[in-house]
Every structure is written in structure tokens, then in C-alpha cells.
Structure 1
Amino acid sequence: MVLKYPGKVILLRGNHETRRVSHQYGFYEDCHKKYCHNAIWKACCDVFDALPIAALIDDKIFCVHGGLSPSLPTLDSVMCLQRNIEVPPNGPLCDLVWSDPEESVSQWCMNPRGAGWVFGRDVAEQFVRKNNLTLICRSHQLVQEGFKYIFGNFLCNVWSAPNYCYRCGNVASFLKIAPDGTRDVVIFSAVENDDRRIPERNAAPYFL
């Protein structure tokens, strides 16, 4: 998509675009195996630091990898965030790439992932209303159906990795937004295993 639409695709930073997580879950190993040194990995990490942390579509749709932060109640506060750094283990930058929505809670709760927060409907609804938004669009949580609305229709989870870790069997999706605001979910499946190379090393069970 980036190659096909270079002026229309914006890559956002997620929790894997950090030195700690990319080292732990295989990217460092892949770079070292292919290039026999870690200079490429270090260069990629410098790029990770420069990636935008969030995006706003037509002033109405807030896009972020993880979720919200109690320290960032407005879009202006997100805009003022110092992001050109390694994501710390806590704080607002960490929250944006690690936090998760949960329908069983209403406010802020500790996140069992050990980073970010779990936030409920009241928190998300207040953020949408205060910032005059129509949708929070995020990822970070595997959904078997590839796409899922949470809290009605003002927060959605878009999962774009089919058959995650080569063993989850899930479909994936991307969300198309028309100029008039109409939303269209496009579902796709993984390439058959016979047509792809599957790594010998099992991926760490990060998503569990």
C-alpha cells in the first residue's frame, strides 16, 4: 500500500516500533541474521523514533495504534507530546501505543499487559465528545473476524495481520473511509501456507 499510494499512506508507530519490543520479538534477530551486524536494526529504530504516533482523518477520525491516555484528554495535548524518543515503560507516549479498550469497565484500570491502561466506554465517549470526533480507530488486539466495533460505533479495532503468527486462523481487514464519511470494511485472508515461507522459529506468544 505504501508503494502504491506513497502520498496517501501514513505509517503510525506502535508498541513493536521500539528497541525493546523489536529486539525481543525477532526483528533484531532477523536483521542480524541477514546482514551479520546490527547497524540496520539501529537505523530502523531511529526511523521508529520519527514515526507519527497518531493521525487525524478529516478532523473526525482519530487513528492510533493502542488507545487513550489519562494524561492526554485533547487532540492538542497529543500534538504537544514529545514523540521523537524511545517509547518509555510508562507515561502518555507509552499509553498511546499500549492501552486497550474494554467493554466491562467504564473508567481507567490497570492494564494486564504491564504497560498503558485499560479504558472503558465513558472514557472513550468523553474523548470523542470533547474533541468533536466520530470515531477512534485503533489496532493492538487480535480479533478473529479482522474488524470489530467496541462501545457501539465510535471505536473500532482494525486487525490487518491474517493468520497471526501463522497459527491463529484469523482473517484481517482494512477500513476504507469515503469522502462523505461512509465506512467500508474490506476483509482478506492469509496466503496459503504452500505459497509462503514460514519461519522455523515459533513467534513469542505476544498477543496472549
Structure 2
Amino acid sequence: MDENLLDDIIRRLLEAKNGRTTKQVHLTEAEIRQLCTASKDVFLNQPNLLELEAPIKICGDIHGQFSDLLRLFEYGGYPPAANYLFLGDYVDRGKQSIETICLLLAYKIKYKENFFLLRGNHECASINRIYGFYDECKRRFNIRIWRTFTDCFNCLPVAALIDEKILCMHGGISPDLANLDQIRNIARPVDVPDQGLLCDLLWADPDRDVEGWEENDRGVSYTFGADKVAEFLQKHDLDLICRAHQVM
């Protein structure tokens, strides 16, 4: 992707901040397609289980809250001054999913080794078709652009290992996860299935009132107890599981 165009897109998105609000940024359909195509290539050239080093700032769900994303960079430092790992759920619910995902993709293309994006359960066509992203794409552009984003989301990595000690994902661990190579070996592009390892990495939840594995109230995946976390950490010589997916 042309470096000057990429810098111009980033500049326009960052200039959207207007006091406490953010104005809508006009990107062309062609510009968005270029962002999706270029970032897809970057995602597929990096592993599905990213191996990263501290220091790195880890960020949870953004959900189309573009003003919050800009505030986050104000506090934490704009790339590449700080390294970032985002844990997914960039779209849906908020009013500016398009600006949010476009700035994140642009930073990913520009700072490949400093800026990392994992997949959340909302980076999936069957979910963001319902929770707002599809409607935003249709209202501001067309359904084709939503499909372009879907193709890009299907290439996102699903987990990251920091300093070989902190395992990060959007949702949680899985009863199907026996070793970390299974994550590395998930083929991409891929849609999120309704069960199995990839589904659990994006959907599972911890529950302090549960022992072992139980069905998840979401109707998808499992909840897991502290016993399963301790067992998993010990088996894989890890210190911590870091995840998003729920308000804390």
C-alpha cells in the first residue's frame, strides 16, 4: 500500500477528535479496500499465535467507540512510541466501527512489529451482521464493503504469547487445547465455527463459581473454573492468561 496514502488516512482519522466528541471521517471505498487487502497480507505473514515481548500495552474491547480509542492513544502514546496488543471486538455496538477498525488496520500496516490485533468474537460475519457493523457499512457504504471487512477478519490471529509467560486471547481456554501448536496450526482464512478450539478461544468465559467445564450462558462455548486455569498454567509453564470479552 502506498506509504503516503497510508499516512494521509492515519492523519485524517486522528484529526477527527473534536473536543469530547469525534466527527465522522470520510474514507473512500477504494481506501478501505486497500486497508483490508494490505492488512490481510500482514496478518497471514505473521503467525496465528503471535510471540511478542514486553513492554507492550494490552487493550480490551473497543466496540466502535472511536473517541475512546483516540483517548487511549492519548494516554498510552501514539504508535510507534508504545507497543500495543488489542484483544479483539473492534466493531459493533458503538457508533463509529468503521473509523475504529480503519485506524487499527492502518497502524497494523504501518507498524507491523509494534502493533498487534487479535480476533474477537465480533470479528465474525454471523455476529456483526446483527450487532451493528453490517448496518453501519450498509448505511455509509454498501454491503460489498462489509464483505471486504469479513474477508480481512477471517485472517486475524487468535492468540499471543508475551515473553513465553502470558497467553492472551479474546475469550478463554478450551477443553480441546492440549498444546499451543494447535493454535499455531489453525488454518486461515477461517470463519468462526460454533464449537471447538477456535470458537472457545473467542467465546469462553472464566467463572469463579464453576469447577471444571460447564455450558456457557451465552449459548456458545464453555465457562471454566479456577482449577482449569491453574492446571493449564502449570502444564504450559505460564504465569497468566490475559483476556477480554467481559466488562470488569
CA distance in 2, matches of 1:76, 1:3: 33
Write out aligned runs for 1:36-47 (5 A): 37-47=142-152
Greater helix proportion: 2
User: Deviation of residue 73 (structure 1)?
Assistant: 2.3
- Over residues 117-171 of structure 1, what are the superposed CA-to-partner deviations in whole Å (9 max), with x where a residue is unaligned? 100011111111111111100000111xxxxxxxxxxxxxxxxxxxxxxxxxxxx
The answer to whether structure 1 residue 4 and structure 2 residue 76 are counterparts is no
| 1:17 partner amino acid | E
Root mean square deviation, CA, Å? 1.5
* Corresponding residue number in structure 1 for 2:102: none
Q: Is there any run of 5+ residues in structure 1 with no aligned partner, and where?
A: 144-208
User: Deviation of residue 40 (structure 1)?
Assistant: 1.0
Write out aligned runs for 1:128-147 (5 A): 128-143=233-248
* Corresponding residue number in structure 1 for 2:225: 120
User: Which of 163, 167, 171 is the equivalent residue of 1:66?
Assistant: 171
User: Deviation of residue 9 (structure 1)?
Assistant: 1.7
* Corresponding residue number in structure 1 for 2:120: 14
Write out aligned runs for 1:38-187 (5 A): 38-143=143-248
- SS of 1:44's partner is helix
Contact 1:107–1:123 (Cα < 8 Å) also in 2: yes
TM-score, normalised with respect to structure 2: 0.55
| 1:73 partner amino acid | A
CA distance in 1, matches of 2:145, 2:205: 31
- SS of 1:113's partner is coil
* Corresponding residue number in structure 1 for 2:140: 34
CA distance in 2, matches of 1:55, 1:23: 27
User: Deviation of residue 3 (structure 1)?
Assistant: 6.7
TM-score, normalised with respect to structure 1: 0.65
User: Deviation of residue 47 (structure 1)?
Assistant: 0.8
Contact 2:200–2:221 (Cα < 8 Å) also in 1: yes
| 2:218 partner amino acid | R
User: Deviation of residue 81 (structure 1)?
Assistant: 2.4
| 2:134 partner amino acid | Y
Contact 2:79–2:114 (Cα < 8 Å) also in 1: no
Q: Percent identity?
A: 44
Contact 1:90–1:116 (Cα < 8 Å) also in 2: yes
Contact 2:134–2:146 (Cα < 8 Å) also in 1: yes
CA distance in 1, matches of 2:178, 2:211: 16
Q: Alignment length, in residue pairs?
A: 142
- SS of 2:116's partner is coil
Contact 1:67–1:98 (Cα < 8 Å) also in 2: yes
Q: Is there any run of 5+ residues in structure 2 with no aligned partner, and where?
A: 1-72, 81-110
CA distance in 2, matches of 1:105, 1:23: 32
CA distance in 2, matches of 1:128, 1:50: 27
* Corresponding residue number in structure 2 for 1:147: none
Contact 1:53–1:83 (Cα < 8 Å) also in 2: no
Greater strand proportion: 1
Bigger relative contact order (CA 8 A; separation at least 6): 2
